[in-house]
Chain A
Amino acid sequence: MIRLTVNGRLETASVPAGLTLLELLRDRFHLTGTKEGCGIGECGACTVLLDGLPVASCLVLAVEADGRTVETIEGEAIGGELSKLQKAFLEAGAVQCGFCTPGMIMSARGLLRRNPRPSDDEIVEAMSGNLCRCTGYEAILDAVRRAVEHDPSPSAPRHAHSPPQKEDRRA
């Protein structure tokens, strides 16, 4: 039996060791917003936050999430209100077919959580693990830039295990 927090809610599940976190979320918890694009961690469609860090949920075992915190796209809008990040994706025209979108937003959320004022290079780095075949990325990067501009002082919690931070890692 594993216990984990998913989008702020304590969940329990009895899982075989071979079950992936992606399968746990989609098939057991019916959180189908997280997508499978390749199953080998190359495309980013299954990105969720594990203890605040973006990870490929197809390459995490469900049992590894025991005792930990998972955030998915379903937790991004609070009380039906779209987050600034989600609004930025709408306004920038960053959504086409939409299949990569949840993973993209979770990658962006992971970046802003750790680094509320990312440089442009840091935005590109953070988003480049998510493949998109429709948009050509430009609008997606614009959306993240917009979210940064719209949100001068996001007060998201920083996870205890976060590695040391520097203000601007390019310096």
Chain B
Amino acid sequence: MPELRVVGRPVLRDDAIEKVTGTARYTTDLALPGMLYAAILTSPHASARIARIDVATARGEPGVRAVLTGDDLDVLLGLYLRDKRILARGVVRYQGEPVAAVAADTLDEARSALRKIRVDYEELPAVFDARAAMAPGAPRVHPELATYERMRGVFFPEAGTNVAHHQKIRRGDAAAALDAADVRIEATFDNPPVQHVPLETHAAIAQALPADRVEVWTSSQSPYTVRHLLAHAFGLPHASVRVHVPYVGGGFGGKAGLGVEPLAYVLSKACGGRPVLVSMTREQEFNTMPSRQGLTSTLRLGATRDGRLTALEATYVWDAGAYADYGVNIGRAAAYAGAGPYAVDNCSIDSYVVYTNKVYGTAFRGFGHLEVLWGVERAIDRLARALDLDPVEFRRRNLLRSGDTTITGEPIAVGHGSPRKCLEAVAQAIGWGLPPLPPDAPNKVRGKGVAMLHKAPAMPTNTSCAAVIKLDEDGAADLLVSGVDYGQGTYTVLRQIAAEELSLPIEKVHAVWDCDTAMTPYDWQTVASRFAYMGGNAVIAAAADCRRQLIDTAANALGVPAEALVCRDGRVCVASDEGRGLEYRQLALGFTFPNGNAIGGPIIGHGRSIATGLTNLDPETGQGRPAQFWTYGAHAVEIEVDTETGEITVLRLVTAVDAGKVLNPLLCRGQIVGGVVQGLGSALLEGFQFDERGRLMNPSFVDYKIATAKDLPREIVPIMIENPQPDGPYGARGVAEHPMISVPSALGNALFDALGIDFSSLPLTPERVLGKILEAGSR
């Protein structure tokens, strides 16, 4: 391969100029003529019958244009399972569920009218614990579950229960292998629901237009999914729904599905087509918008005396909250990744996604893997200990390598990423095997831990993506895609790829920033760490299409065969005589001969990519091919614990990810450091707390704390490994979610090293750590 000019370099992102000057426009920065403002009334109860809603007074309040309740709307929404209404109808299923909405001339008018709405509730039995919700006789969150429309063949709700999906993985004979194992361990682990906390809350503007058309501006990760789901829910042709995505202030999975767009749309319709802005307050973002699901895992692992992992049995019980949303797919994806990156011939996993009367779950960076691997990677350490083996050595002996098969029967081929290299890199960087430096105070102890991570994009078997490149009069290129760059930097990477492929300087490749389903070509969703991979391949194809068109026109213009021509440095030239050629700008709109005759025409290249070789999983055994590629990684961490207060100081955190090819080291580092710090939030700080009536006790930044600049590890060391992905653009694979996964596991393992105490519940707050220390001391 010739030396790369642009790909692999730390190109600066072009959107940053607008972002540092305050000119970048996010959804709530837009103001459409005649725009109205919405306010939303939410349920104070976790489970209740709506006996009566009186909106008459609110309707007469100054400035009010429309008041809606669930009785006005008969639409069921859902990604995989249509179980959710825009506004609760008849019953509320979680505290914070929208019950009524007002659109008014000003936000203040909307809010004051909201206070005039009277709702009478009759509280119903509720269930808050997912395992309790599986018990016979538990209150049913959705008695009508069996009637819901769903994606068949992929998701399997159990009628008459709270189970929205049951995913099975069966390989070998786990029960027999556990019986036969020389050493066994069993343990249970917990993760609480956690919020995404994008700095920009959910917001959307919708305008209902004549002839059943609708235009939407939304803070979303997935313009085409918003379009499809709106079209589907309201029975509109897709072309009648136009979705714009301006700059998005972070998403992390929380803006992957349908958010507040449907409410904005129905309000606009109710107001005779005035545009309506729905923007969530931070408290509503916590109380009303979806979070990461809670998980309780029970794991049984068995190994031979010589340290071979022979059996893994797992029960994963996901706390979906009140609606299925992405939760059912998380229960599926985390199950097929639910044995970690290890070769284990006997595996049995049951993953249940269970409704409860709490705020519902959705996709969150890592898509269930952080939660599942919290248990698996802690259990692997415990098994190593039971075997009296070093945890790194035990992992080394059991990591997947070429020739192995995964628990879904997928062969690990050559060209796979290397979990082993990641492990060795972090072990070396942390000084594994060397004792930690002694702490500087008698009340402090230190410890080290490692953890592995892996994840494949969790996406439909037919996921696809397109890119368009059009050339400008000056020979520059405009890149159009519909994946969203909501901060991760993919547009910059795609510009680099286009610049490389078109032989243009990076300055001459422009990303078109506002996605618009009427203008920018299809992409599924911007989730699953597959945008650089699939978008990159689509851009390579689109650039090739441009080159073909350029060369075709140039061949006619120059009177030489197309095969003799190449694209180089913004020109099409004769390969053997580079002085002879034409600049792109002479070809971009078509070539004009000196006499005025013209040939060719505007150059617009199109490229596409689609998932290849994926299959649905067998409903009974989970066998099949779910992964387009696997990205592997590892963390190693050294911590210090204050044994009097339970506080943890992260001294050093090393993260290795096998990126295949680092397309932009600056952006890649940004993903690793940002992901690690977010992972530390899950490890040390974050989690919803509910009271006994299912009310969220920490729905604001006062009591839901995310890391600040003071909470960083003393040192973060990113290590980028490059085993090329054969079908990835320049060998690249996705790395965006991965740095977050298994950060808690590494911390938990280091805590054991420091204290000799096993922690099984997150987050590892000072309170929890000290509690265990005191408990251990009193024994």
Contacts and interface: CB of A to CB of B under 8 A. Distances in A.
Contacts of B678: 133, 136
Given A32-B29, A105-B20, A99 B701 contact: no
Report the contact-size class of chain A (Cβ under 8 Å from the partner): 35 or more
B23 interface: yes
A133 B701 contact: no
A96 B487 contact: yes
A82 B21 CA distance: 8
Contacts of A60: none
B674 A89 contact: no
A74 B666 contact: no
Contacts of B249: 35, 97-99
Taking chain B's interface residues, is the majority helix, strand, or loop, or is none over half, making it mixed?
Answer: loop
Interface stretch (B185-193, B641-649, B702-710): B702-710
A141 interface: yes
A82 B10 CA distance: 20
B673 A102 contact: no
Interface in B23-82: 23-26, 28-29
Interface string A103-127: 0010000000000000000001101
B670 interface: yes
B422 interface: no
Contact of A96 (B22, B196, B670, B712): B670
A138 interface: yes
A154 interface: no
B15 A98 contact: yes
A82 B199 contact: no
A97 B200 contact: yes
Contacts, number: 164
A61 interface: no
Given A35-B199, A90-B12, A98 B487 contact: yes
Given A90-B12, A133-B198, A40 B282 contact: yes
B118 interface: no
Given A43-B199, A74-B21, A131 B701 contact: yes
Given A97-B487, A138-B712, A42 B700 contact: yes
Given A35-B200, A43-B701, A127-B709, A96 B20 contact: no
A35 B27 CA distance: 11
A37 B709 contact: no
Nearest to B21: A77
Given A33-B21, A96-B670, A100-B199, A134 B12 contact: no
Contacts of B28: 32, 36
B700 A141 contact: no
Interface in A7-59: 26, 31-40, 42-43, 45
A141 B19 CA distance: 17
Residue in A32, A42, A76 whose Cβ sees the most chain B Cβ within 10 Å: A32
9 contacts: A32-B29, A33-B22, A35-B199, A35-B200, A93-B10, A97-B248, A127-B709, A131-B199, A133-B674
Interface of A: 26, 31-40, 42-43, 45, 72-74, 76-77, 82, 86, 89-91, 93, 95-102, 105, 124-125, 127-141
